[in-house]
Amino acid sequence: MADILHRVGIRSDSLQDVYNALTTTAGLAGWWTSNTKGEGDRVGNIIEFRFGAGGFDMKVAELEEPSRVVWELADGPQEWMGTTISFDLKQDNDFVIVMFKHANWSEPVEFMHHCSTKWATFLLSLKSLIEDGKGRPDPDDIKIDNWN
């Protein structure tokens, strides 16, 4: 098993603001993909994320407001099956620290390398959304390679 790990720090004194960006349709559409449907604020809900090339359906697996959000892939690309995504938030002085994990990849395939880099850009998009009021969700996302 292999995991993608990231850490970003967002200049904010509000865990709740970051939690909201991870659990509301408007929040998620502001940093990951503009084409987001569903509410992420209740365990068991399905959130539909769509991109130009496809998408992911995530089941909200765990919520600890305002510090933890966990999703399980409900439907999506084969390589993502069985993986989970978690966001753990904590306040550290002037920053909300986001500890991110996309866990349980069965193999460290080339697509996992791509997704690791791509997640970094989306987490920095989340940071921009909270700090500056504007993220870079798909289709305005940062392109990293020939796949996107």
Contact string (CB under 8 A) for its own copies, positions 74-113, x = contact: ------------------xxxx-x-xx-------x-x-xx
**Does position 132 bind its own copies by CB under 8 A?**
no
CB of 59 to its own copies, least distance (A): 24
114 binds its own copies (CB under 8 A): yes
Closer Cβ to its own copies, 9 or 82, answer by number:
9
Query: Across the strands, what pairs with 64?
Result: 68
Contact 56, 49 (CB under 8 A): yes
Q: How far is the CB of 49 from its own copies (least distance, A)?
A: 20
Between CA 140 and CA 76 the distance in angstroms is 21
Between 64 and 110, CB nearer to its own copies: 110
Tokens representing 58?
A: 């995530």
- The count of residues in the chain is 148
Q: Give the span between the Cα atoms of 30 and 84, in whole angstroms.
A: 21
